[in-house]
């Protein structure tokens, strides 16, 4: 059975050891999935994020999950798509998946849920992003047999279809 599953859901409802947040480099909350995670987690989350003091694009930071069903939140900062430096933007997005998975694994996470990083407010083309996400997740799973489950959480049919295609 595949360790990757694809679901249509609100990520704040997902029961996994960790959920990933598509944050911005200030780590102080925002709209989209970031706003939803902060709303459900409650005030402890921004307090912990403030202490971290930000995160560069492509990297990841870990906090508690507070009122979320997940024990941890992995905050990663996706690239803003411009298309003028596509290869660099691809590499930064790949880094988000790789670094989030590695940080989670080091902290004992064995089940983790990702949103479609950078494909909302940051405008990364979802078809392109889904291929990068699936490639990085598969590579990590191949090299870390201890990781049990990676859930890709899609908000909306277009995003779901893109990931379905990328998983074929
Ligand atoms: N559960 C799962 N996926 C969601 C949810 C949710 N509750 N809400 C939105 N999505 P975006 P980005 C999907 O814009 O492009 C924030 O303001 C959404 O439909 O959340 O990385 C941050 O603070 C889309 O498919 O993240 C940053 O400033 C995907 O999540 C900026 O937006 C990502 O959309 C980050 O932009």
What is the pairing mode between strands 4-8 and 72-77? unpaired
The answer to whether the beta carbons of residues 152 and 6 sit under 8 Å apart is yes
Give the CA diameter of the chain.
41
Q: What is the mean pLDDT of the chain?
A: 98
Is 116 exposed, middle or buried, given 0-12, 13-18 or 19+ CB atoms closer than 10 A?
buried
Q: Ligand 1 pocket check: which of 115, 157, 162 to mutate, most ligand atoms within 8 Å of Cβ?
A: 115
Confidence of residue 23 (pLDDT cuts 50, 70, 90): very high
Write phi, then psi, for 11 (nearest 5 degrees): -60, -25
Helix (H) or strand (E) segment spanning residue 111: strand 111-114
**Does residue 24 register a pLDDT over 80?**
yes
Domains contained in the chain, CATH given: 4-167 (3.40.220.10)
Compute, in angstroms, the gap from residue 121 CA to the centroid of ligand 1.
Answer: 7
**The pLDDT value given to residue 6:** 98
Mean pLDDT computed over 38-49: 98
Spatial CA neighbour of 168 closest among 135, 129, 119: 135
Sheet with 72-77, strands from edge to edge, namely: 4-8, 149-154, 111-114, 18-23, 72-77, 60-64
Over residues 112-147, the pLDDT tens digits come to 999 999 999 999 999 999 999 999 999 999 999 999
CA dihedral 163, 49, 58, 116 (to 10 degrees): 10
Residue closest by Cα to atom 24 of ligand 1 = 120
User: What is the reported pTM?
Assistant: 0.98
Compute, in angstroms, the gap from residue 115 CA to the centroid of ligand 1.
Answer: 7
Compute, in angstroms, the gap from residue 37 CA to the centroid of ligand 1.
Answer: 10
Q: Enter the DSSP assignment of 11.
A: G
């Amino acid at each position: 059975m595949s360790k990757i599953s694809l679901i249509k859901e609100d990520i704040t409802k997902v029961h996994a050891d960790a959920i990933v947040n598509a944050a911005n480099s200030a780590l102080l909350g925002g709209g989209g999935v970031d706003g939803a995670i902060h709303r459900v987690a409650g005030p402890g989350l921004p307090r912990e994020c403030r202490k971290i003091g930000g995160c560069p694009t492509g990297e990841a930071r870990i906090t508690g999950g507070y009122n979320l069903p997940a024990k941890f939140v992995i905050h990663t900062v996706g690239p803003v798509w411009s298309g003028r430096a596509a290869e660099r933007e691809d590499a930064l997005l790949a880094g988000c998946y790789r670094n989030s998975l590695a940080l989670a694994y080091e902290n004992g996470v064995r089940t983790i849920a990702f949103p479609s990083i950078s494909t909302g407010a940051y405008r990364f083309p979802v078809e392109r992003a889904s291929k990068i996400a699936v490639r990085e997740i598969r590579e990590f799973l191949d090299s870390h047999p201890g990781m049990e489950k990676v859930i890709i959480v899609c908000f909306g049919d277009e995003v779901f279809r893109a990931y379905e295609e990328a998983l074929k």
